[in-house]
Amino acid sequence: MKSSRLILVSLLALLTAGCSSDSEGPSPKETVIALFGAMEKDDQPALIYLLDLPELMKNLNEDYALQTDSPRVFTSPEQVLEDLTGEGETKKIWFSLQRIINKEYLASEENATVDVTFVDKERSRGYMTRFGLHKVNGKWKIYSFKTVGGR
C-alpha cells in the first residue's frame, strides 16, 4: 500500500514537472524549425498554431516571404496557409533552397528574431532573412519573414 502511494506521488510529481516545462512551449528557434516541419508535411493546423496570420497579412508594401518587385497581397488567412503548403509559391521557392536556421535573438521576454539563410547552391547565392516572433497567449508565433539581404 505504501509503495503504491509512493509510486502515485512520484508519478504526480513527474507529471507536474513536465507540465510546468511544457507551459513555456518551444523557443523562438524551435518554433521556426517547427514551421518548416509543418510546411513539409502540409500541416495547416500546425501552421495556424505557429503563425500570427493577421500580422502576416498586414504587410502590404513588400512580399511577406519572397523577394519580388510586386508584392502579393493576401486577403485571408487561408491564402497564407495555401501559399505555405502544397503547391504554394513560397513553399516551392523555400523548399528549392537549402535552409539554414541560425541564431535566435531575444529582444525581450515578448519579442525575438531568428535568422534564417536560404542558399541557392546553383547560383552560389544566399538570402539572409530574419523571422520576427512575438508571444501571443504565452506562445511564440511568427509574424514576419523579413528579408535582410542577399549575397
Tens digit of each residue's pLDDT (9 = 90 or more) over 126-143: 988 999 999 999 999 999
Three-class SS of residue 28? helix
pLDDT of residue 47: 98
> Residue 148 has what pLDDT?
63
Q: How far is CA 29 from CA 71, 89, 99, 128, in A?
A: 27, 24, 13, 15
Residue 21 domain-assigned (yes or no):
no
Asked if the structure places residue 65 within a domain, the reply is yes
**Is residue 124 assigned to a domain?**
yes
14 domain-assigned: no
- Residues in the chain where the model's pLDDT stays below 50: 1-22, 150-151
In a domain, 76, yes or no: yes
Residue 17 lies in a domain: no
Q: Calculate what percentage of the chain has a pLDDT beyond 90.
A: 60
Angle between helix axes 28-40 and 89-96 (nearest 10 degrees) is 110
Q: Give the number of domains in the chain.
A: 1
Whether 35 is in a domain gets the answer yes
The per-residue pLDDT for 68 is: 66
Distance, first Cα to last Cα, the chain = 68
- On whether residue 102 sits in a domain, the answer given is yes
